[in-house]
Amino acid sequence: MAKKVLTDLDVKGKKVLIRVDFNVPMKDGKITDNTRVVAALPTIKYVIENGGKAIVFSHLGRIKSADDFKKNDITPVAHELEKEIGQKVTFVNATRGKALEDAIAAMKDGEIVMFQNTRYEDFDLASNTETKKESKNNEELGAYWASLGDLFVNDAFGTAHRAAASNVGIAAHIGEGKSAAGFLLEKEIKFIGGAVDSPKRPYVAIMGGSKVSDKIGVIEALIQKADKVLVGGAMMFTFLKALGKNIGSSRCEEQEFVDLAKSLLDKANGKIVLPVDAVVNTAFEDVPGTAKSVDSFDANDMGLDIGPKTLELFKKELAGAKTVVWNGPMGVFEMKNYAAGTIGVCDLLADLTKEGAATIIGGGDSAAAANQLGYGDKVSHISTGGGASLEYLEGKTLPGIACISEK
């Protein structure tokens, strides 16, 4: 069944609890990238522009000791939200208690209250012990937060694969039919959920990154569902070694994962497409490399990117694709000499998007690469969650989505 979305709720005059993903990168108490704050604005604006009272909250980092409180104080993010949304945000430096309850009680329609890092509830300062009340979905905490509002909107896909008090806990106690997906989460359900449940074909997946071990489940799922699975990144060398090729000094996982890669190739019946060349160097440094066939590596050759012939091969395999999912860069894209493979895949996806294909980039490094390289607006969808997008692609039920009311 379809999940309720924000526009299904009547927010006028209601206290709307909005779980956002403001887990932004910070350095010395300052935000270094506000992308996640900006991404949450449409949901928050919809609530306040339609007469609701927006109660905004998020986790930030991990709280495992008393030292983590100052480092992960979410106050600067509240200031950033105020600046970006262009109106006052009343910040409450607490996760529960009278100050928070009074601030919410005093709200007028169209106003915003934000409270402190939800993961402050993971550690008890009085006893100096880790409690994980938020992270482990403490029932009392979920019920308390639910009591603060009339409706609940989950817009944090990045934590949707975890059952926490601030998503599943609130949804369980807010009342039947009173929870919905925000605009960001709605988009994830539409694109990634659509790729899992009913992709338009041909459906091609591109897998990169460093480790096969991180993506076993999703690769197994994709060789069942996709028409082709193109493999790049450092993980390609684990597959190539499984085929008995000399991979020089390229990164490769332990023998058990080489054996696993061999079994995945056997199961795939030709669906897995491996690189035919790679750009190599003899050291891990940003100097020009040499493109070599995967059949002619020397002992000191270290593969750092897919090669130009592989890009041509991938272009042929992607021709006419209607759904494309990409997770993981093709090489060490942070080094300009080894970014060509990742840029090339970005170009291929941009062209397919123009042709009407649904092009989806999973979260994590591939999303960071696409945004950093200027392709953020040239594909259909860039996921806001790393682990969550992988689990969703794998076909797993995500607690943060499952807890939302059905239409």
> Known catalytic residues?
36, 211, 364, 387
What distance in Å separates the CA atoms of residue 13 and residue 137, rounded to the nearest whole number? 29
CA-wise closest residue to 170 among 162, 179, 158: 179
| Other Cβ atoms within 10 Å of 8 Cβ, number | 13
- Parallel/antiparallel/unpaired status of strands 151-154 and 129-130: unpaired
Return the sign of the alpha-carbon dihedral for residues 119, 125, 126, 132.
Answer: positive
Burial 63-74 (b: 16+ CB within 10 A, else e): beeeebeeebbb
Q: Which two tokens stand for residue 377?
A: 């607006």
What distance in Å separates the CA atoms of residue 359 and residue 352, rounded to the nearest whole number? 7
CA-wise closest residue to 234 among 205, 218, 257: 257
What distance in Å separates the CA atoms of residue 278 and residue 310, rounded to the nearest whole number? 8
Q: Which two tokens stand for residue 222?
A: 């994709």
The residues, any chain, with a CB within 8 Å of residue 27's CB and separated by 6 or more, are none
Please work out, in degrees rounded to the nearest 5, the angle formed at the alpha carbon of residue 89 by the alpha carbons of 87 and 94.
175
- Asked if residue 311 lies in contact with residue 341, where contact means CB atoms within 8 angstroms, the answer is yes
Concatenated DSSP letters of 235-264: HHHHHHHHTT---TT-----HHHHHHHHHH
